[in-house]
Amino acid sequence: QITLKESGPPLVEPTQTLTLTCTFSGFSLSTYEVGVGWIRQPPGKALEWLAAIYWDDEKRYSPSLKSRLTITKDTSKNQVVFTMTNMDLVDTATYYCAHGDTTRGMAVWGQGTTVTVSS
Amino acid sequence: DIVMTQSPDSLALSLGERATINCKSSRSVLYSPNKKNYLSWYQQKPGQPPRLLIYWASTRESGVPDRFTGSGSGTDFTLTISSLQAEDVAVYYCQQYYSTPTFGQGTRLEIK
């Protein structure tokens, strides 16, 4: 059974860097065509895809946010770390990580972690 | 970016009615070598993460009721719920994963 869990600070101040960790089980990020992605959802708004990292260490980022994002993986710990720099009030959202593959897209999602940007 | 546009934004139907949600991509998401459309549909209920319903435009994910059907190819896609049940109240999103993934804006489905 595949599970994912997001962790990180619930509150971040403007201009700070957000660091979130996705800890997963039930699959290996060294398996062919497997990836882990990050998606966010501001309150009452739509889903926004942010970034993903794949079995071969390929990384993809949302073009509009690319300059602010970094994604890395630690295969031995079954973790993916996501950072977003220069946080702003509009970055307040629930942040999800999800297991993906090239066949199905994002098949299994974590429960999400809510991040509020406020001074 | 491939822009995904859903219609309608919201939909209110009676129990047992057929629901139809449309999704249009700004460029084709059909990958010619394998003839697969890299388009998925998700269901999101309040307070829950999204759930994958359909991938490759028309393949139902394991455990998804057969009243959910995906269709379309290229740039135009449809999610159909054949007979609306109370538990289908949710927001539905399409997503392309042909290139850097993008989501549609969502369609809210309610019971009339």
- Is the peptide bond preceding residue B33 cis, with omega within 30 degrees of 0? no
Q: What Rg do the C-alpha atoms of chain A give, in angstroms?
A: 14
Q: What is the pLDDT of residue B4?
A: 98
Q: Quick one: closest CA in B to A63, which residue?
A: B1
Chain A residues closer than 8 Å to B33 by CB: none
CB contact under 8 A, A63 and B1: yes
Q: What is the pLDDT of residue A119?
A: 93
User: SS3 string of A13-41?
Assistant: CCCCCEEEEEEEECCCCCCCCEEEEEEEE
**Distance (Å) from the C-alpha of residue B9 to the closest C-alpha of chain A?**
11
B93 inside 8 A of chain A by CB? yes
Question: How remote is the C-alpha of A117 from its chain's centroid?
Answer: 17
Which pLDDT tens digit goes with each residue over B55-88? 999 999 999 999 999 999 999 999 999 999 999 9
Res. B47: pLDDT tops 90: yes
**For chain B, what percent of residues have pLDDT higher than 70?**
100
Res. A23: pLDDT tops 90: yes
CB contact under 8 A, A106 and B1: no
Res. A104: pLDDT tops 90: no
Helix, strand, coil percentages for chain A (3-state, nearest 5): 10, 55, 40
- Residue in the block written with tokens 């942040």: A95
Once rounded to an integer, what is the mean pLDDT over residues B92-112? 96
**Could you tell me if B67 and B75 are in contact, meaning their C-beta atoms sit under 8 angstroms apart?**
no
Chain A residues closer than 8 Å to B101 by CB: 37, 49, 52, 105-106
Give me the DSSP letters along B19-45. EEEEEEESS--EETTTTEE-EEEEEE-
pLDDT bin (cut points 50, 70, 90) of residue A103 is: confident
Q: Quick one: closest CA in A to B62, which residue?
A: A107
Query: Which residue of A46, A49, A103 is in closest CB contact with B101?
Result: A49
Res. B37: pLDDT tops 90: yes
Pairing of strands A34-41, A48-54: antiparallel
